[in-house]
Amino acid sequence: MSGTHEAGAGRSPAPAGTVLAFDFGTRKIGVALGNTITGTARALDTLREESNAARYAAIGVLVDAWQPIVLVAGRPLHADGTAHATTALADKFARELARRFRLPVEQVDERYTTQVAEIERSGPDKRGADRDALAAQIILQAWLDARSPSSSP
């Protein structure tokens, strides 16, 4: 079974393919789509299903449609890097993604992504864009950037 791990030291280039990323929230989950070949991410959707069963069913539809090679999930932390209550819920979400979809899941530090998404969506090219999906895009772009050949030391 696939497990989850946090992206960090010893990063290796991602295999070629599609990636789905998630900005976990207790009421909404932002979703982004990216590709390891182009190294780009884009906001895709925000899931607003109320029950866990409906949430995972909606994610299953996305997994079936996009056939990702890996899933990326944001990991919320306090500004100083310590965990909080939502961190445990996001960790559980990442483990459940791996269990249900049998795909590798990597977690990315998502500090400030929602605030950055809020600023970005006020820009002229993204005015009115969905904040949660944009946050997922920022999470995914960070993951892709960390794996690009130009980011190696």
Domain boundaries, the chain: 4-9+21-151
The reported pLDDT for the residue numbered 129 is 61
> What is the full per-residue pLDDT of the chain (153 aa) written as tens digits?
445 444 444 455 557 899 999 999 989 999 999 999 999 999 999 999 999 999 999 999 999 999 999 999 999 888 888 888 889 999 999 999 999 999 999 999 887 666 565 556 665 455 456 888 999 999 999 999 998 766 545
- Do 113 and 25 meet the contact criterion of CB atoms below 8 Å apart? no
Domain at 4-9+21-151, CATH homologous superfamily: YqgF/RNase H-like domain (3.30.420.140)
Give dist(CA 52, CA 1) in Å, integer.
21
- Do 11 and 147 meet the contact criterion of CB atoms below 8 Å apart? yes
Look at residues 56, 153, 149, 143 and name the one whose alpha carbon lies nearest to residue 105.
143
